[in-house]
Amino acid sequence: MATPSYPPPLAGAPAQGFATRAIHAGEAPYFREGSAGDVAAPIHLATTYARQKVAQPGRYEYVRSQNPTREALEVKLASLENARYGLAFSSGLAAETTALLALLKAGDHIVAFDDLYGGTKRLFEHVFARFGIETSYVDATSAPLAEKAVKPSTKMLWVESPTNPLMKLCDIRAMAEIARQHGLILVVDNTFLSPYFQKPLDLGADVVVHSITKYLGGHSDVLGGALLVNSDALYERLQYHQNSAGAVLPPFDAYLTLRGIKTLAVRMEQHQKNALAVARFLECHHRVSRVLYPGAESHPQHDLAKAQASGFGGVLAFDIRGTAAHAEAFLERLRLFTLAESLGGVESLIEQPSQMTHASLEKAEREKIGISDTLIRVSVGIEDPADLIADLEQALDF
């Protein structure tokens, strides 16, 4: 079943802007028969739907297969990513595992960016490797290097851009061309920029992955994931997996995400403003040896960032000049930044990838790609930037 696009566009009207779609897509009050006219899509909690005739199911049958609240979100997400279809799952990793990687079989091969969320790498290495699915990691900042790793058994190219946590970019258009030439599925995890700043499907990607848990939810109170695609065939397979494996986003979480997305445009603008202010402060601080933020002119791929995205997001990383003990002491002295995993919420979060989000990687593997014990990752929230900088300043005074 194709994802319906509500509200239907007016004939001949120009495409609506992002902020308008973030608020209205999927939630037009009278798009469904019998609607009370709810301005916000209601939470439908029923697990099953009645039919009047045995052989004639209604539009909805059973919650795992379809749910009106989840469907409203799937429509909204598809609209924002300029996708034809959206699917929502119980976590980002659930979307990856139960639908996307389930496209592969024993003997298949993935070429992946060497810098990825630690949980995704753990999934490749410690779960799917046992099923005979092999992954090669490449520094995909170079598209030719990525192409060199393609083998006859390769089925997928898998990238994040920017990467977690080193903020590396890949040229999504170039990767899409490689995927096209070799008949591969290009997967782009767009969690860090959100569709507000980057639309990988428009750049040629086949599948967009999201951890809804981050900017889409936006308030650190929802765990969810999503896949967005344009191809009918791919959608049919992924939707079949979504229903067969059952890791769907529950209705309450779908509702919270719908609510969160309504402010995505304004949140992302403020995240970016604050991140730029924090990056500029850190770049000038003697206790900081390098800052990794695609929005800073010092970022080696700043031009690529401008060429393929309309903004740079709210996450950055930096290295403390000193020892791992200095990095830990700094983190523990902070008062406003919360020392926690995750990102993309309105509140600023900070963490040490080597002991937190990327602790599941071997130390040698972390060191090979540049995740040192002094690397700090920051998800800059939307508090007053002066308060954020004051907190960093006092904690860096060691």
Q: Which residue is nearest to ligand P1T (CB)?
A: 92
Count of alpha carbons within 13 Å of 260, Cβ hemisphere only? 26
Residue closer to ligand P1T, measured from CB, 176 or 226: 226
Rounded to a whole number of angstroms, the minimum distance from the CB of residue 356 to ligand P1T is 7
Side by side, which strands form the sheet with 109-113?
85-89, 225-229, 207-211, 185-189, 154-160, 109-113, 134-138
Residue closer to ligand P1T, measured from CB, 6 or 255: 255
- Per DSSP, the three-state class of 15 is coil
Euclidean distance between CA atoms 286 and 283, whole angstroms: 8
Residues that bind ligand P1T in the complex, under the rule CB under 6 A? 91-93, 117, 119-120, 160, 164, 189, 191, 211, 213, 223, 225, 341-343, 357
User: What letters, b where the CB count within 10 A reaches 16 and e where it falls short, cover 183-197?
Assistant: ebbbbbbbbbbbbbb
Residue closer to ligand P1T, measured from CB, 27 or 138: 138
Catalytic entry in 6, 85, 117, 196: 117
Rounded to a whole number of angstroms, the minimum distance from the CB of residue 117 to ligand P1T is 4
Rounded to a whole number of angstroms, the minimum distance from the CB of residue 112 to ligand P1T is 12
Residue 42: exposed, middle, or buried by beta-carbon count in 10 A (0-12, 13-18, 19+)?
middle
Rounded to a whole number of angstroms, the minimum distance from the CB of residue 363 to ligand P1T is 18
Residue closer to ligand P1T, measured from CB, 26 or 162: 162
Euclidean distance between CA atoms 116 and 373, whole angstroms: 17
Residue closer to ligand P1T, measured from CB, 191 or 274: 191
Euclidean distance between CA atoms 269 and 314, whole angstroms: 9
Residue 245: exposed, middle, or buried by beta-carbon count in 10 A (0-12, 13-18, 19+)?
middle
Does 105 qualify as catalytic in the annotation? no
Catalytic entry in 21, 76, 121, 214: 214
Rounded to a whole number of angstroms, the minimum distance from the CB of residue 222 to ligand P1T is 9
Residue closer to ligand P1T, measured from CB, 117 or 255: 117
Residue indicated by tokens 């609510």: 259
Catalytic entry in 32, 49, 60, 64: 64
Catalytic entry in 115, 189, 319, 373: 189
Rounded to a whole number of angstroms, the minimum distance from the CB of residue 224 to ligand P1T is 6
Q: Give yes or no for a contact between 99 and 208, defined as CB atoms under 8 angstroms apart.
A: no
Q: Where are the alpha helices (DSSP H) in the chain?
A: 18-24, 68-80, 92-95, 118-122, 143-148, 172-182, 194-197, 232-245, 251-261, 264-283, 302-308, 324-333, 363-369, 385-395
Does 64 qualify as catalytic in the annotation? yes
Euclidean distance between CA atoms 21 and 144, whole angstroms: 37
Rounded to a whole number of angstroms, the minimum distance from the CB of residue 106 to ligand P1T is 24
Does 196 qualify as catalytic in the annotation? no
Q: Where are the alpha helices (DSSP H) in 204-250?
A: 232-245
Q: How many residues does the chain have?
A: 398
The DSSP bridge partners found for residue 316 are 378
DSSP for residue 393: H
Residue closer to ligand P1T, measured from CB, 179 or 249: 249
Does 397 qualify as catalytic in the annotation? no
Q: Which residues are part of the catalytic machinery?
A: 64, 117, 189, 214
